[in-house]
Amino acid sequence: MLVEEVGILIESIPIICRKYNQTENNVGITNKSALISSLINFAENLISPLEYFEGNNYNIIFKKKKGATEMDANLFIYIVINKLKNFERKWKKKVMTLLENITDKFYSEYSVNDYSEISIFSDFNNVIDNMINKLK
């Protein structure tokens, strides 16, 4: 499995974006975050729960964690991987567990209500890298 990218969004604001492979299509992080947030929110209104999108070349798997109260921020985490045969059967559970573990670790280290200075999250890149390496 080839991981292309992992990202964390808080209320549609990109907090972390880890790219593992350079692709020809270089879409800005803000535009990508807005698109991902919009797609997830739209899809949740139509079909819930929604866990991933499958394209011709990639799968985008995501997890949303709602804040504990209405005042708490919502967190989205997503991973983009190359398209795999038998994704649903062989890889979905592993990837969803990975996203859950990353989310739990993030919540244990940071407050999602204070995201005004995103540089405080930069150390979390190493945590994501280590978890991705264990998945392979």
Summarised one tens digit per residue, pLDDT across range 42-84 is 777 777 677 888 888 888 898 888 777 666 788 889 999 988 8
HEC string of 65-122 equals ECCCCCCCCCEEEEEEEECCCCHHHHHHHHHHHHHHHHHHHHHHHCCCCCCCCHHHHC
CATH 3.40.50.11540 fits 3-135, yes or no: no
Report the pLDDT value the prediction gives residue 25, as an integer from 0 to 100. 61
CA angle 88, 17, 35 (to 5 degrees): 70
Which of 106, 30, 93, 27 minimizes the C-alpha distance to 65?
A: 106
Q: Domain ranges in the chain?
A: 3-135
pLDDT tier at 40, thresholds 50, 70, 90:
confident
* Positive or negative: CA dihedral 93, 82, 51, 106: positive
